[in-house]
Structure 1
């Protein structure tokens, strides 16, 4: 059994397309996604269509949460900067009815059993939807999280930082960000998990994508140019 691990697509369909092509030869039988499907690149419908059409096991992330508030007629206090708020409002406005319903139906976590092994999908961590976990997170914290979960495999996103840590019998895995890496390399990140005879192995991958297609789409929708530079430089924009 091979599983394609995705997270933090951020509406970046050109990056998701590139991952789809790059991962095709791995023969993955399942796909999981750990949230932040939307916001920052203006392709929310194409992205959600891809997830829906492939029956991806998916959860929502913190950027999705704010879009959901808008879809429910509510508002949010943060982010307060107009240039950032418009990235959420424009996403909500672009969504088709069927994709609004899809997003509204997503949970913050999802538990799965695959070939007898228990998996948990979380955006931040099993304890906190917005906790940042990294490869260099102290082992003590991973031990605490391992003690609080019944899952043998914990897949997370949010930090946009790929890692695989095995602590106290639990695999903690983050595939990195498909659509918005922060390490200066404008390439999509994903991982392939192989489950064989009860053992777990993970390989991490990067692939180039058409960054300029994202920049041009931002310009077409008259969205702030700073986000085009964010995608070009693969840097974080607060």
Structure 2
């Protein structure tokens, strides 16, 4: 069994809870679909945890903003945290982020962060015609922060949801597993207050992390496909 995670966004307590649950489930390998960076302040802790386990990790749009020293075009809140992360990230972790590929195929699953038209920043809405245009029959991506398991004719797509900032109204950390044949979606509770306290200690107001208690974007919006 392999674990599939995405959109950690510097939320180390959520990542810890997901990794612990994957250990309990007996995962032999973990794949990350990108966005280790962005939104929350514990970027070094997240990098260290993933590197210790040799987690294969793709480039996400927030990872790209961080390593390329560019801004997110949609979120001033994200940019403030990216600025913070640039000020604290260890050089070795930054170099590791730069090494991420934008797409790959692992265990027979085609992988990107966003979608196959734009690996970094496509908000993919699965449908038969989309996947019929792609080689392969198993696909996984993140980016939307919303879990989905879609099955069409000869094609299966999984979005594991977000570890670090779920946006579907459920505050528990989201991830998926694949046993060689079947994807399964999972959720696990974590210590949200610990992450919120870390943000306060880093100088952020509660606006930047109160959404974690409600499973929304910063500002309170719930997302859906």
Separation (CA, whole Å) in 2 of partners of 1:146 and 1:84? 31
Aligned partner of 1:121 in structure 2 is 111
- Is the 1:10–1:40 contact (alpha carbons within 8 Å) kept by the matching residues of 2? yes
Residues of 1 paired with 2:190 and 2:182: CA distance? 26
Partner of 2:8: 9
Name the structure 1 match of 2:97.
103
User: How far off is 1:184 after superposition?
Assistant: 2.3
| Structure 1 unaligned residues grouped into runs of 5+ | none
Contact between 1:79 and 1:85, CA under 8 Å: does it hold in 2? no
Sort the Cα spacing of 1:21 and 1:76 in 2 relative to 1 into closer, same or farther, 3 A: closer
CA distance in 1, matches of 2:8, 2:216: 15
- CA spacing shift, 1:12–1:96, aligned 2, 3 Å: same
| Match among 171, 179, 189 for residue 208 of structure 1 | 189
Give the number of the structure whose residues are more often strand, by fraction. 1
Q: Which of residues 124, 131, 147 in structure 1 aligns to 2:122?
A: 131
Consecutive unaligned residues in structure 2, runs of 5 or more: 220-225
- Tell me which residue corresponds to 1:93: 87
Report which of the two structures shows the higher radius of gyration computed on alpha carbons. Answer: 1
* Distance change in 2, residues 1:194/1:227 (3 Å): same
Matches within 5 A, 1:1-238: 2-70=1-69, 75-76=70-71, 78-79=73-74, 81=76, 83-112=77-106, 114=107, 118-129=108-119, 130-133=121-124, 137=125, 142-195=127-180, 200-237=181-218
Secondary structure of the structure 1 residue equivalent to 2:127: helix
CA displacement, residues 208-229 of structure 1 (integer Å, 9 cap, x when unaligned): 1111111111111102321121
CA positional deviation for 1:77:
6.8
Offset, 1:105: 0.7
TM-score normalized by structure 2?
Answer: 0.90
Distance in structure 1 (CA, Å) of the matches to 2:72 and 2:31:
30
1:68-87 CA distance string (max 9 Å, x none): 122xxxx4372473x44211
Contact 1:126/1:145 (<8 A) preserved: no
- How far did residue 182 of structure 1 move? 1.1
How many residues align? The count is: 218
Distance 2:75 2:197 in 1: 25
SS of residue in 2 equivalent to 1:192:
strand
Displacement of 1:126: 1.6
For 2:139 and 2:102, the matched residues in 1 are separated by 14
Cα deviation digits, residues 126-174 of structure 1 (max 9, x gap):
22232223xxx4xxx5323323322332110011111222223222111
